[in-house]
Amino acid sequence: MDLVLPPKSGVRTRPLHDEEVALARSGALHTLTSTRLAAAWALAEATARTAEIPRLTVGDVDLETGRVWIHGGGRTVPRWGSLSSWGATQLERHLRTLTAGSEQLIIYRGCGSDQSRQASACVVIGDVLARAGLGAEPDVRPLSVVAWAGRQVLDETGRIEEVARRLGMRSLDRAAQLIGFDWQQS
């Protein structure tokens, strides 16, 4: 049957569910030797957006503390992103494959414009979503990973301002909208 189901939510981008993140992690590990997809997914889980992922270097990762320095961008401010234990493991695996030192880019290979770099990161995260069976979901986008991380922060702290800070967002309203939190009703 060719049934087309409606989006799970009425929003343009929704946070992933924990089960979907687990599926995506499996999808990111599509071969025993390839580490790039899993490393990119780990950076997205740490709140790096597709515009930020291509600019991250080996020197931005601190595996000892489980953090990555995210430089920010046009819509976000610089911040530390927290790596999950799964993410730290995947980044460690990927960093072992790189040889050029602390200034080497982690994910992006090339010398394209900012737009082509972001498009490359969108393709990588989109590929993971497709491998997890989420590629056809109309309300799932690469930003859904960051929204999931923000929802985790809200569940942990109960504070929308902490969500905005950790996601590098300047607006509490936009942070709430991204994670699907109606602060006026809570």
Domain of residue 164, CATH code: 1.10.443.10
140 lies in some domain: yes
Q: Identify the domain containing residue 41 by its residue range.
A: 18-179
42 lies in some domain: yes
Q: Which of 149, 145, 147 is nearest to 179 (CA)?
A: 147
Q: How many CA atoms lie within 13 A of 69 on its CB side?
A: 9
DSSP alpha helix (H) spans, the chain = 18-28, 36-45, 85-95, 114-131, 143-157, 160-167, 172-179
146 lies in some domain: yes
Name the domain count of the chain.
1
Mean pLDDT of 59-64: 97
DSSP character for 17? Answer: P
Q: For 109-137, what is each residue's pLDDT tens digit?
A: 878 888 888 999 999 999 999 999 999 99
Q: What whole-number percentage of the chain has pLDDT above 70?
A: 94
3 lies in some domain: no
Q: What does pTM read for this prediction?
A: 0.91
Q: Note the residue count of the chain.
A: 186
Q: For 153-165, what is each residue's pLDDT tens digit?
A: 999 999 999 999 9
As given in the structure block, the two tokens for residue 158 are 């109960």
Give yes or no for residue 4 having a pLDDT over 70.
no
| Residue 84: pLDDT band with limits 50, 70, 90 | very high
3-state secondary structure of 76: coil
Give yes or no for residue 7 having a pLDDT over 90.
no
